[in-house]
């Protein structure tokens, strides 16, 4: 046990385990957390209770004069007054003070020392400590010795509910962030991802304030030149699959920043979806789920502790957390040069977007702010036909500033460093979902390979009359007829109607961010 004095945080628990080794946290979890066990590969299996995913409607930002004018209040960021925050913080501390022992993780967010922040996590569950041990950047013994005062403290009292009668509460769950106090308070949810995304929210505020672009994306680098590529994409678009490229170095799978010096990963680990995982489909992720990793909310057999990754009886959102060095091609430290290519991935279930298009900087801003993909029938109750889904900057729930702030930073970076920007459709071809077919992964990989090789930079293009996109018409190892979606439809008139409808949806969505429609046919120069 550590002799760390937590009285500065209003905590008086005598037994504190600080920056425990995973083996110690395994022992603590097995001893003190009923239901926790070990998989046959050595990963810790833990359960988050009732909440098996984030609670975005319960996230609150403290309204303070210093930051109030910076924050994009409304659909993502709900305000909380200082008094209610103090009540919730006191409630969390009261609960933590009732525990026999607490777990502390002191670590870093951001691989670039010039933009790194120090984070302290205080929690009552060893599973939460192990999770953040893997997700943050782990300090050396020497760094820990001189760690000093953290920039941000997370009080995770997720087993204790918020008081719904506290002003600003709408449920017994509350995840509260105070930029001025440097604190995050978690009540009423034991889902570990709330801590991870709490840090991302903080970085999404701090970095743009310093002129650094924070991004919800994966990143890889050329093993020889160190030049990087970043891939944006919502769930189901292929972001993780395409970044797991054995010929390139992995910088990170989810959260990055783009500074004047290049790009850097925010995290020290990966938090991958585990549903339907197999050794064949995702070998890098599969082999990473070993000793030291956390498997969250999975089902296993009692006899051998083999995990059934196809079983979604607890949740579709089964997850695995592991340190990034468990990925064999990871680049440590997780930094790289300026991206030569910026790739927006979209799974277009309408089947009208081309497999690959070049975007101008102006188009990049618009498609970045829209953050488009599509839901298909069967993914959610009531979805009978493709539905357009928009998430600004491909990470709406975690933004703090208005999306335009991030888009302006992206456009400035693209222009300054001459990055090529691409829209890659991993969705349907030859018709919408139910008529056409899903783009072959081999074709998408060939497109991304050609982008990285620089082959598509000078490839011939033609301007799409509806979207104004510069559609690439030739790509190695991809049939030319696939590259033109209109000619790939059996009924061109049906294609025109569906494409016009989707372009109108783009315009309607973008109108809430900037007056006037700017998508349809606007960037054909």
Is residue 245 annotated as part of the catalytic site, yes or no? Answer: no
Cα distance between residue 47 and residue 127, in whole Å: 9
Cα distance between residue 7 and residue 122, in whole Å: 12
Q: How far apart are the first and last CA of the chain?
A: 65
The tokens describing 96, both together, are 């933590």
Cα distance between residue 341 and residue 525, in whole Å: 21
Q: Which residue of the set 12, 170, 225, 235 is catalytic?
A: 235
Vertex 135: Cα angle to 3 and 24 (nearest 5): 40
SS3 string, 218-277, reads EEEEECCCCCEEEEECCCCCCHHHHHCCCCEEEEECCEEEECCCCEEECCCEEEEECCCC
The tokens describing 20, both together, are 């425990």
Q: How many C-beta neighbours within 10 Å does residue 12 have?
A: 11
Is residue 239 annotated as part of the catalytic site, yes or no? Answer: yes
Q: Which residue of the set 60, 120, 197, 470 is catalytic?
A: 197
Is residue 273 annotated as part of the catalytic site, yes or no? Answer: no
Q: Which residue of the set 51, 54, 128, 413 is catalytic?
A: 54
Is residue 235 annotated as part of the catalytic site, yes or no? Answer: yes
Q: Which residue of the set 89, 239, 248, 331 is catalytic?
A: 239
In angstroms, how far apart are the furthest CA atoms of the chain?
A: 73
For residues 473 and 463, is the Cβ–Cβ distance under 8 A? no
Q: Which residue of the set 58, 253, 254, 348 is catalytic?
A: 254
Q: Which residue of the set 240, 249, 318, 373 is catalytic?
A: 240
Distance of CA 388 to the CA centre of its chain: 20
| Residue 58 Rama label (left phi>0; alpha psi -120 to 50; beta) | alpha
Burial of residue 205 (number of CB atoms within 10 Å: 0-12, 13-18, 19+): buried
Cα distance between residue 227 and residue 231, in whole Å: 14
Q: What DSSP designation does 77 have?
A: B
Is residue 124 annotated as part of the catalytic site, yes or no? Answer: no
Burial of residue 122 (number of CB atoms within 10 Å: 0-12, 13-18, 19+): buried
Q: Which residue of the set 59, 216, 338, 470 is catalytic?
A: 216
Cα distance between residue 217 and residue 239, in whole Å: 8
Is residue 338 annotated as part of the catalytic site, yes or no? Answer: no
Beta bridge partners of 62: 80
Q: Which residue of the set 319, 331, 338, 413 is catalytic?
A: 319
Q: What DSSP designation does 38 have?
A: E
Catalytic residues: 54, 197, 216, 235, 239-240, 254, 319
């Amino acid at each position: 046990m550590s002799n760390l004095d937590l009285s500065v945080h209003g905590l008086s628990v005598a037994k504190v385990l600080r920056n425990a080794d995973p083996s110690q946290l395994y022992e603590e979890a097995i001893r003190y957390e009923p239901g926790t066990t070990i998989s046959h590969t050595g990963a810790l299996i833990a359960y988050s209770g009732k909440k098996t995913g984030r609670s975005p409607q319960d996230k609150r930002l403290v309204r303070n004069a210093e930051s109030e004018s910076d924050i994009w209040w409304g659909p993502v960021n709900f305000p909380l007054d200082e008094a209610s925050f103090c009540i919730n913080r006191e409630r969390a501390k009261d609960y933590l003070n009732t525990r026999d022992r607490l777990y502390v993780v002191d670590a870093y967010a951001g691989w670039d020392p010039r933009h790194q922040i120090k984070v302290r996590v205080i929690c009552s569950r060893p599973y939460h400590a192990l999770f953040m041990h893997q997700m943050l950047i782990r300090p050396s013994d020497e760094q820990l010795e001189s760690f000093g005062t953290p920039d941000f403290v997370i009080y995770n009292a997720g087993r204790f509910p918020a008081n719904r009668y506290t002003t600003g509460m709408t449920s017994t769950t509350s995840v509260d962030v105070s930029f001025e106090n440097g604190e995050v308070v978690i009540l009423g949810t034991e889902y570990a991802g709330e801590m991870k995304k709490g840090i991302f929210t903080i970085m999404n505020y701090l970095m743009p304030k310093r002129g650094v672009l924070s991004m919800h994306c994966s990143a890889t680098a050329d093993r020889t030149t160190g030049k990087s590529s970043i891939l944006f994409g919502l769930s189901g678009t292929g972001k993780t699959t395409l970044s797991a490229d054995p010929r390139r170095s992995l910088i990170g799978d989810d959260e990055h920043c783009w500074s004047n010096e290049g790009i850097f990963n925010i995290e020290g680990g990966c938090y991958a979806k585990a549903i339907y995982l197999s050794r064949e489909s995702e070998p890098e992720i599969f082999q990473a789920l070993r000793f030291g990793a956390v498997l969250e909310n999975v089902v296993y057999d009692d006899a051998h502790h083999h995990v059934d990754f196809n079983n979604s009886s607890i949740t579709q959102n089964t997850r695995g957390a592991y340190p990034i060095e468990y990925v064999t091609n990871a680049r440590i430290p997780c930094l790289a040069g300026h991206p030569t290519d910026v790739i927006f991935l979209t799974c277009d279930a309408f089947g009208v977007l081309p497999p690959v298009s070049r975007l101008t900087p102006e188009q990049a801003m618009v498609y970045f702010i829209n953050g488009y993909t599509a839901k298909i029938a069967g993914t959610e109750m009531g979805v009978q036909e493709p539905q357009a889904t928009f998430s600004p900057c491909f990470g709406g729930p975690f933004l703090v500033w208005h999306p335009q702030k991030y888009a302006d930073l992206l456009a400035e970076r693209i222009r300054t460093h001459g990055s090529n920007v691409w829209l890659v459709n991993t969705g349907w071809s030859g018709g919408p979902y139910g008529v056409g077919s899903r783009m072959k992964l081999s074709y998408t990989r060939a497109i991304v390979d050609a982008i990285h090789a620089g082959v598509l930079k000078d490839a011939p293009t033609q301007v799409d009359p509806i979207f104004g996109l510069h559609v690439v018409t030739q790509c190695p190892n991809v049939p030319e007829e696939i590259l033109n979606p209109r000619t790939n439809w059996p009924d061109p008139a049906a294609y025109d109607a569906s494409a016009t409808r989707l372009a109108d949806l783009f315009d309607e969505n973008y109108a809430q961010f900037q007056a006037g429609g700017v998508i349809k046919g606007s960037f054909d120069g």
